[in-house]
């Protein structure tokens, strides 16, 4: 089984990257071959609305026509068995690089004639990991559950299924005395010690389930 994994954080050892590494380890433990891409090490844009992928004279499935660092990666998507995507939450959305990836990844397979029928040639599972500073209460009250539920549903529609794993109230600084924050370093440390290992275990389980078929829609 082949899986592509994407770290949508500019931090290569931050919360998103850490949880993604646990998901990758879980997938590898079940025999998957995983290739990791750090999006902030690549040069690419989001969708440029050229509509090349919507032309009726193009043979499907079509890969995004924009030629940049992401193009050869998108070529690989046609032959893989699963996707793992991790992103921090900035201003109530995925990171800019992760959002650009999702646009380029999904739009060629979106069937403008019938949204219920994806142009992707088969069904594969997607694992989606989000890390954020907000608490689980704010996740709901601010409508994050609805917003990121749309991303989950979009990925599920185009590829087959999408399962989301969250880490709330994550630690951002090594020394909270040096930066603006809505909590003390001691409070953040205590929360992390109580929850982050569990979050990483959930990410590892996500990777395992991706391989053994527990995430596929019936």
Q: Please tell me the predicted confidence (pLDDT) of residue 41.
A: 98
> Could you state, in chain order, the average pLDDT of each consecutive group of 10 residues for the chain (218 residues)?
97 97 98 98 97 91 93 95 97 97 97 94 96 93 94 97 97 94 93 97 97 70
Match 């919360």 to its residue by tokens: 15
Query: CA 35, CA 6: separation in Å to the nearest integer?
Result: 9
Query: CA 185, CA 175: separation in Å to the nearest integer?
Result: 7
Residue pair 37/7 in contact (Cβ under 8 Å)? The answer is yes
Residue pair 34/24 in contact (Cβ under 8 Å)? The answer is yes
Q: Please tell me the predicted confidence (pLDDT) of residue 216.
A: 61
Cβ neighbourhood burial of 61 (10 Å; 0-12, 13-18, 19+): middle
Of 128, 132, 169, 131, give the one whose Cα is nearest residue 150. Answer: 128
Q: Please tell me the predicted confidence (pLDDT) of residue 59.
A: 83
Q: Please tell me the predicted confidence (pLDDT) of residue 81.
A: 96
Whole-prediction pTM value? 0.95
- 84-100: b or e for each residue (b if 16 or more CB lie within 10 Å)? bbbbbbeeeebbbbbbb
């Amino acid at each position: 089984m082949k899986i592509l994994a994407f770290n949508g954080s500019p931090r290569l050892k931050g919360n998103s990257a850490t949880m993604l590494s646990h998901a990758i380890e879980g997938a590898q433990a079940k025999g998957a071959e995983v290739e990791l891409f750090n999006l902030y090490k690549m040069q690419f844009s989001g969708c440029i609305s050229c509509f090349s992928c919507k032309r009726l004279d193009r043979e499907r499935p079509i890969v995004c026509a924009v030629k940049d660092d992401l193009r050869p990666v998108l070529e690989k998507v046609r032959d893989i068995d699963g996707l793992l995507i991790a992103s921090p939450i900035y201003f109530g959305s995925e990171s800019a690089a992760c959002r650009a990836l999702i646009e380029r990844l999904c739009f060629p397979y979106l069937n403008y004639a019938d949204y219920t029928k994806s142009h992707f040639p088969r069904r594969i599972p997607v694992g989606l990991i989000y890390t954020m500073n907000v608490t689980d209460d704010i996740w709901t009250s601010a409508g994050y559950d609805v917003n990121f539920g749309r991303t989950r549903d979009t990925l599920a529609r185009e590829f087959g299924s999408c399962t989301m794993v969250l880490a709330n109230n994550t630690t951002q600084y090594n020394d909270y005395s040096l930066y603006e924050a809505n909590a003390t370093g001691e409070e953040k440390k205590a929360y992390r010690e109580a929850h982050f290992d569990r979050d990483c275990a959930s990410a590892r389980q996500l990777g395992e389930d991706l391989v053994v078929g527990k995430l596929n829609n019936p």
